[in-house]
Amino acid sequence: MGKKLVIVESPAKAKTIGRYLGKDYVITASKGHIRDLPSATLGVDVNKDFKPVYITMRGKQDVIKQLKELASDSDFVYIATDPDREGEAIAWHIAQALKIDPQSHCRITFNEITKKAVKEAVESPREVDMDLVNAQQARRVLDRLVGYELSPLLWDKIQKGLSAGRVQSVTARLVEDRDAEIDAFVPEEYWNVSAIVSAASEKEKFKIKYLGSKIGGKLSKDKLSCKEEADKVINDVKGKDFIASSVKKGKKERNPFPPFTTSTLQQEASRRLNFTSRKTMSVAQQLYEGIEIAGQGQTALVSYIRTDSVRISDEAVHASRGLIEAKYGKEYVCPYIRSFKNKNSAQDAHEAIRPTHFDLAPESIKSSLQPDQYKLYKLIWDRFLSTQMSAAVLNTVTLDAEAGGQVFRASGETIVFPGFLAAYADINEENAEEKNDSTRLPDLTEGQTLKNHGVTGEQKFTLPPAHYTEATLIKAMEENGIGRPSTYAPTISTILERTYVEKDGKFIKITPLGKVVTDMLRDNFKEIVDVSFTADMEKQLDEIETGNKDWVAVLSDFYPPFHKQIKEAAESIQKIKIESEKTGEICPECGQGELVIKQGRYGKFIACSRFPECNYTKNIEVTVKGKCPICGSGLLAHKSRKYKGKSFYTCDKKGSNPDCDFISWDIPVDGKTCPTCGSYMVWKTFRGRKYTKCANKDCESNKKRKDKSEGDDK
């Protein structure tokens, strides 16, 4: 048998595959794309069916030379790049560079890097799928046309260095629209009225909340919109005991979530692990390509990570069910094979993200993984196991109690059987246990008297929708059909890097620059920032992938009217000046310019308005609640340049000690010291919950915390 060459994208993937193929195979890596459109010119002939002009990417000459040498020494070449549009396009470019006929059986793909999957792929090679290649090519050309023609217009009309993109611009609009909705929100007053009651024979008290009024024997659910309405309800029931008019008991089941797609993995990693979307994809890529596992060698731990499919292979289902029975017991295995449906057939090409080696539980290989790798692998492992576990069973009870013609209600639920929650707790209801404790109901019967221990009213106001976080923005992109699984993370990173949006804690908000750019595009290029238009374009790209649309025809429909708009806008749009926010101070360095607030890569800063004649800058002092634990002065928040804008805190040095050198990544807890070592305490956040921790990393309390968390993992 002659020598065979297998080409993949990354060296890590090459090393992993090398474990499964014999000495007759040589494995090498292209290290990503080898050809692309030129950066200095359009690179697309719009007059000849949008023919792209590809060139060898900078730094890839030596890679191509090595690939050619290895190919000439081999009897056959397999191109084993990733199983998606991007991977198919890389395979086509490699075939072009090596003068391999794309219609020859040179292409192999696998959804997971396991011995079985790799062997099966080698035994059934296929042609390069030109529908997938054309779908990627159409996206690349489309994005190039939009960016290449819009960006110079932004430079001319707003400021140099700006850019626009087909997906990034509409994503920035989502953020702007949400921020505008919040700004325009008018709070409405409402009142909550509640009573503390107990059953006559019970000491245990519980809370019931106002539901509505009984009029002519019928319940009218009322919203209390002012104090007068709340006071009427309070006066009607004050000093009166309640009668349990209805006690409904039941059981309900809660089923597990589907397995992870790219989008849901990014959302959950953000919520549970506080990972950015970029970090999630970087760590997931490592798990997919392979990690050196003690006693195992280079091993891929999860299936392909760029997918919007929730399909699971039969083999993976059966493996997981065996694991569930062994770890949790037979009653925890779902009595039937649970499957999940995709929205459309195009998603069925891949599987969901899942473990690939069911003999490598996260705890068993923890010592071989970096902390972030372990956290993400465990998240994927637990989520996948839960999909084949029994439903959680809950007892429910709903009580309606009446007094003075007013009806109050209490609802509670208790977990009878945890089912899948034993492996994958629902953090969206992380306070459910606390809520159930506060509304835990005694055994009640209809007609029973409930002693009234007091009624109170509380004024509330409706809240605006929350600003987007990375998790909720990705969810919005997915729901609106903006981008694909592989583009969510880079799109968000791009609009952050271009300072069209900024992070305020975990929230993403539009910047003044982002608002100016988005508004200009909205006013003059409606379709570019139109959600439905962008979603429709994604559908057309999907149809190119399935062979139902011609990629040149799609571009021919889009480009002429877009190009016409560009020419008209160049003539009609007036220069837009971004007014810097003034501080009212004169520059201390030149004495002439006024200090203004500018937006930089790492957030806002103060600069002289005479730039570039005067280069004076200084950081904006942002005060935070709390006191310096060393000298008792105030605290300032800063953005770290080294750590990509992460916040840190220092003493404001305005107290008795101007030389105080306090600095911390965490905000100190005002007036609280560690009971173990006497050091100051800091605020930390885990899964959305705030807690306090000793700032001294060597404190025994932190060591106990670490030991406990490791025990919990086990």
Indicate which residues carry an active-site annotation: 304
The token pair that represents 174 in the structure block:
């989502």
The token pair that represents 666 in the structure block:
């965490």
> Are 147 and 163 contacting, i.e. CB atoms less than 8 angstroms apart?
yes
Which residue pairs, CB below 8 angstroms and at least 24 apart, start in 230-238? 230/191, 230/193, 230/457, 231/457, 233/193, 233/406, 233/455, 233/457, 234/193, 234/455, 234/456, 234/457, 236/403, 236/404, 236/405, 236/406, 237/195, 237/403, 237/404, 237/406, 237/408, 237/452, 237/455, 238/455
> Are 357 and 114 contacting, i.e. CB atoms less than 8 angstroms apart?
yes
Pairing relationship of beta strands 189-199 and 449-461 according to DSSP bridges: antiparallel
CA trace torsion 87, 90, 94, 96 (10° rounding): 120
Spatial distance between the Cα atoms of 644 and 640, rounded to a whole number of angstroms: 6
Of 423, 334, 420, give the one whose Cα is nearest residue 381: 423
- CB contact set of 433 (below 8 Å; sequence gap of 6+): none
- CB contact set of 218 (below 8 Å; sequence gap of 6+): none
Query: Ramachandran region of residue 85, left (φ > 0), alpha (ψ -120 to 50) or beta?
Result: alpha
Spatial distance between the Cα atoms of 475 and 428, rounded to a whole number of angstroms: 15
408 in helix, strand or coil? strand
Which residue pairs, CB below 8 angstroms and at least 24 apart, start in 661-667? 661/630, 662/628, 662/629, 662/630, 662/631, 664/695, 666/693, 666/695, 667/624, 667/625, 667/626, 667/635
Spatial distance between the Cα atoms of 72 and 118, rounded to a whole number of angstroms: 23
The token pair that represents 67 in the structure block:
């690939």
